[in-house]
Amino acid sequence: MRSIEKHLGEFEARGIRPVAISVDPPEVSRTHSQKQGYTYTFLSDPQAEVIRRYDLLHPQGRGDQPIARPAEFLLDTNAIVRWVNLTESYWVRATPKQMLDATNSLK
């Protein structure tokens, strides 16, 4: 997430609008993004409805609290998923370079 913020200008220059989504309540997401200095959009999905729709619910969760699997998606202007990066590890995510490179292949 921090790396997305650092490269936000590059994403925006390509017409890409990063959005994060988590199961955290809105106030938790808002507080977290403010503390970290994130300026892109954070969405809250406390019932994990969207997260389930994209099959991103982590099987182990956090105790009895569901969490989302780490994932990055690129959607086109028609909301069609054009690129996906899924991992099982919270610590492993696509780099901004990988995401930006993926946009090159979509043109």
* Residue-range domain boundaries for the chain: 2-102
pLDDT tens profile 3-52: 999 999 998 998 888 888 888 899 999 999 999 999 998 889 888 898 88
Mean of all residue pLDDT scores within the chain: 85
Residue with tokens 């921090």: 2
What string of DSSP letters covers 63-78?
TTB--BPPEEEEE-TT
Residue with tokens 């899924």: 86
Q: To the nearest 10°, report the CA torsion of 65, 86, 72, 47.
A: -20
- Identify whether the C-beta of residue 97 lies closer than 8 Å to the C-beta of residue 50: no
Domain boundaries 2-102, corresponding CATH code: 3.40.30.10
**12, 70, 19, 77: which is closest to 44 by C-alpha?**
19
Residue with tokens 């993004």: 33
pLDDT tens profile 36-49: 999 998 889 888 89
